[in-house]
Chain A
Amino acid sequence: MKLKIFLVFFMFYTQSLFGIEKIIDPNTIHKNLRCLVCQGQSISDSNSDFAQTIKLVVKDLINEGKTEDEIYSFMSDKYGEWIVFKPQLNAQNSLLWILPYIALIFGGFFIFTLVKKRQ
């Protein structure tokens, strides 16, 4: 009985988890693009003409059926990598993406050896 309740619950849960539709939200994209004429603001936060233009471009690209990642690479091809707040995973940025995890693994390993030494 317990197991059955659990199973129903579990199925229900996973279903609701994976049932989310993937819609492209222009606001998310605006937030991940830098306003090039402002100081440290994103397109979404800025009131500048540049930001207004980019918003229109993003709207057009979404209507053309481009995915989020395609829009980012379109933007960085056109304006340079500076415009996207999410650094691309390429050779130049590999250290940026990997080093935190190396530090995490190293730290964990270090604690593990400290604890193990005792036994």
Chain B
Amino acid sequence: MLSNLGNSILFISVLVSISIIYLSNKNLKTSNNLIIKNIYQLSLIQSTLIIFCFFTLIAAFIVSDFSLVTVYQNSHSMKPVFYKIAGTWGNHEGSLLLWVIILTIFSFLFLIYNKDHPKKFRLITLIIQNILILGFLFFILFNSNPFSSLSPIPSEGLGLNPILQDPALAIHPPLLYIGFVGSSIYFSAAIASLIVNYSEKSFSFSIKNWVLISWCFQTLGILVGSVWAYYELGWGGFWFWDPVENASLLPWFAMTALLHSIIVFEKRNLFYFWVIILCLITFILSVTGTFLVRSGILNSVHTFASDPTRGVYILLFLSLMIFSSIYLLFKKYKKENYSLNQNSKETFILINNWFMMFYLITVLLGTIYPIFTDALTDNKISVGPPFYNAIIFPIVVIFLIFMAVGPRVKWIKNRFEDIKVYSFILAGSIILNVLILVFIKSYSILSNFIIISALFLIISSLKDGVSALQKNRFDLARIISHASFGFLVLFIGLNHIFSIEKDYNIKVGETKNFENYSIKLEKLDLKDFPNYKAVIGTLEINNNFSNEKNILKPEIRIYDNPKTLTYEASIKTNLLKDYYLTMSNIDRSDYYNIKFQKKPLMIWIWISVVMIVTGGFLRLFKNAKYS
């Protein structure tokens, strides 16, 4: 029943999209300056239909309707209701539906919020967006239909992968999708702007808030994914430079570049084509990311839903997008007249874009290079954290310095009067760094540079904040985001330098000592839970220096549906550090392997990212207030 309902709604949605394209096309030819009402109505109906369709799927998950293949494969009647609902978008088919929801909602909102822009531009944006919607609807209908039915109806589902049963992972996909898919609207707008030659700076007003929204959510999505990996995957890290993580980072670099260069376009009417190119590649990279993740072409910790046939369709769609973008760009490209002073805000924003493109190229290359070596020479290589750390981190040092100086530089032409101030800040950063070095622990030369440059950025941003406060001219959003980025790099650096990691095989009653800590496995308990059994270890960690005692209880869980073994880390968080402990059994022995980690300032890494996003939202509210 639900299967028929869902399929019918999908089918009607296809018809609605086609009608929108048809009507918009017809409306383009009329001389009237207004867009006819029917288009607004249809666009609203379209998003309502898709949302309704999604609720149908949620209903199927709640009542455990195993006549649907998707529900059968990803749910189980014994699962808690919260995870039944979250399971709706925790799989490939359902998440595509979520993807289309965002496409349609953004399409509708863009239509109603941009009434001061030329009709032609708005209509063509709508047409392009609906072509994208159609593309994904066809993909859903013919390849990844969440409403495919199954007969005979199985009595029980296969269950959801237990490591996906986590609150962070329930909100991770929606957040990330608003970022990924949100970039579709400025892709469509960029194409429309090229087609109708709408290259005045007012074009920037139509897209800048959408860029901000997608950037904020993309950042939050990456954060939540990272937090989840930290808590759930049990290795104590939050970023592994894994292909799937990289896939979410690639559009982020492009968005961040766009976020900055659009300011130049808005204020100085420069870089129009560059802004367009960034709009195009952001969404193209989002779809590329989806392709890499869903086609299973890459080996990753996060591969949960991969199937090669999906890859072919997405690849086809992707090529179509890339070729039409390139064709249009070449056809419409006009040489722009730049007049840039070397010491101006414009130049510094270009420098931001320069670094963003460097990061983007490095990460993209590292992600896809193994595919090429595998295909061309049959030699599989791994590109992992050491590669990215070696290439990216030295460059971050220079980037942070530019990031500190750039925002204070004036438009058009600046005079350098602040060299003295900057040398004081630099001296202060170096002294702070040396204090850390002397009183706590020494670290490598590169780490020194990173800590110094991060401190430099933090102090100069804070100083900007103070002097702006005095003059009452306040760019709070930028200051918060930039300072927080400095804090982020600083905390990641300190976390990396001062973390302790120890690995032992231990049995009940035994104690291990290291540095000023001792760790004792006190006992093991066996417990039964509704959908799993667990071996729970009780370990006492004693800091002999401060006499601080902590009890940590890592678990080994045995899930029934599907049958899996997971290792639950036990984490004690406080403001200064996290203790992180995992335990695993060793076959045919009464020893257990434990991994203890001390991760300093962990919580501050998350807080810094939240603050970076806060800056983004502040700017958004400010834009909304003044428009």
Query: B234: which of A27, A45, A103 is its contact (CB, 8 Å)?
Result: A45
Q: How large is the interface on B (under 10, 10 to 19, 20 to 34, 35 or more residues)?
A: 35 or more
A82 to B126, CA, bound (A): 46
- Tell me if B361 and A103 are in contact (CB < 8 A): yes
- Tell me if A20 and B444 are in contact (CB < 8 A): yes
Stretch at the interface among B211-219, B333-341, B508-516, B537-545: B333-341
Query: Closest residue to B376 on the A side, CB-wise?
Result: A92
- Tell me if B354 and A111 are in contact (CB < 8 A): yes
- Tell me if B358 and A103 are in contact (CB < 8 A): yes
A39 to B342, CA, bound (A): 48
Query: Could you say which residues of chain B place their CB within 8 Å of the CB of A82?
Result: 380-382
Query: A80: which of B354, B380, B503 is its contact (CB, 8 Å)?
Result: B380
Task: Determine if A57 is an interface residue (Cβ-Cβ < 8 Å).
Answer: no
A20 to B384, CA, bound (A): 26
Query: Could you say which residues of chain A place their CB within 8 Å of the CB of B387?
Result: 85-87, 96
A20 to B347, CA, bound (A): 40
Query: Could you say which residues of chain B place their CB within 8 Å of the CB of A96?
Result: 365-366, 369, 383, 387
- Tell me if A114 and B365 are in contact (CB < 8 A): no
- Tell me if B437 and A41 are in contact (CB < 8 A): no
Query: Could you say which residues of chain A place their CB within 8 Å of the CB of B1?
Result: none
A86 to B386, CA, bound (A): 5
Given contacts A16-B442, A80-B380, contact A100 B567 (CB under 8 A): no
Query: A49: which of B235, B303, B587 is its contact (CB, 8 Å)?
Result: B587
- Tell me if A85 and B357 are in contact (CB < 8 A): no
- Tell me if B386 and A85 are in contact (CB < 8 A): yes
Query: Could you say which residues of chain A place their CB within 8 Å of the CB of B390?
Result: 86
Given contacts A92-B377, A107-B358, contact A87 B342 (CB under 8 A): no
- Tell me if A31 and B354 are in contact (CB < 8 A): no
Task: Determine if B434 is an interface residue (Cβ-Cβ < 8 Å).
Answer: yes
Query: Closest residue to A40 on the B side, CB-wise?
Result: B301
Per-position 1/0 for A84-119, Cβ under 8 A of B: 111100001101110111011001101100111110
A51 to B40, CA, bound (A): 59
Number of residue pairs A-B, CB distance < 8 angstroms: 138
- Tell me if B339 and A83 are in contact (CB < 8 A): no
Query: Could you say which residues of chain B place their CB within 8 Å of the CB of A32?
Result: 384-386
Task: Determine if A73 is an interface residue (Cβ-Cβ < 8 Å).
Answer: no
Given contacts A47-B567, A87-B382, contact A92 B373 (CB under 8 A): yes
A20 to B382, CA, bound (A): 30
- Tell me if B384 and A85 are in contact (CB < 8 A): yes
Query: B300: which of A40, A99, A115 is its contact (CB, 8 Å)?
Result: A40
Interface residue ranges, A against B (CB under 8 Å): 9, 12-13, 16-17, 19-20, 26-27, 30-32, 34, 39-42, 44-45, 47, 49, 52, 55, 80-87, 92-93, 95-97, 99-101, 103-104, 107-108, 110-111, 114-118
A65–chain B nearest beta-carbon distance, Å: 21
Query: Closest residue to B298 on the A side, CB-wise?
Result: A40
**Chain B interface mostly:** mixed
A96 to B350, CA, bound (A): 25
A32 to B357, CA, bound (A): 27
A100 to B240, CA, bound (A): 20
A59 to B456, CA, bound (A): 41
- B residues 353-389 touching A (CB-CB < 8 Å): 354, 357-358, 361-362, 365-366, 369, 373, 377, 379-387
Given contacts A45-B235, A100-B365, A111-B347, contact A52 B593 (CB under 8 A): yes
Per-position 1/0 for B438-472, Cβ under 8 A of A: 10001111001000000000000000000000000
Query: Closest residue to A17 on the B side, CB-wise?
Result: B445
Q: Can you name 24 A-B pairs with beta carbons within 8 Å?
A: A13-B430, A16-B437, A39-B299, A39-B301, A40-B240, A40-B299, A40-B303, A44-B503, A45-B233, A81-B382, A86-B384, A87-B381, A87-B383, A93-B373, A93-B381, A96-B369, A96-B387, A104-B358, A104-B395, A111-B347, A114-B340, A115-B340, A115-B347, A118-B339
A47 to B391, CA, bound (A): 30
Query: Could you say which residues of chain A place their CB within 8 Å of the CB of B383?
Result: 85, 87, 96
A9 to B435, CA, bound (A): 12
Query: A111: which of B351, B362, B445, B448 is its contact (CB, 8 Å)?
Result: B351
B623–chain A nearest beta-carbon distance, Å: 28
Query: Could you say which residues of chain A place their CB within 8 Å of the CB of B351?
Result: 111
Task: Determine if B286 is an interface residue (Cβ-Cβ < 8 Å).
Answer: no
- Tell me if A117 and B338 are in contact (CB < 8 A): yes
Given contacts A45-B234, A47-B567, A81-B382, contact A103 B442 (CB under 8 A): no
Given contacts A19-B442, A85-B386, A96-B365, contact A111 B350 (CB under 8 A): yes
- Tell me if B235 and A52 are in contact (CB < 8 A): no
A83–chain B nearest beta-carbon distance, Å: 7
A118 to B340, CA, bound (A): 6
Query: Could you say which residues of chain A place their CB within 8 Å of the CB of B391?
Result: 97, 100-101
B346–chain A nearest beta-carbon distance, Å: 9
A31 to B388, CA, bound (A): 14
Further pairs besides A19-B442, A45-B237, A114-B350: 5, Cβ < 8 Å: A39-B301, A41-B301, A81-B382, A93-B369, A96-B365
Task: Determine if B200 is an interface residue (Cβ-Cβ < 8 Å).
Answer: no
Q: Name which of B342, B347, B443 has the most chain A CB atoms within 10 A of its CB.
A: B342
A45 to B357, CA, bound (A): 31
A112 to B35, CA, bound (A): 45
A118 to B301, CA, bound (A): 50
B405–chain A nearest beta-carbon distance, Å: 15
- Tell me if B385 and A85 are in contact (CB < 8 A): yes
Query: Could you say which residues of chain B place their CB within 8 Å of the CB of A111?
Result: 347, 350-351, 354
A103 to B381, CA, bound (A): 22
Pick the 7 closest A-B CB pairs, nearest first. Answer: A85-B384, A45-B235, A86-B386, A47-B584, A40-B301, A100-B362, A82-B380
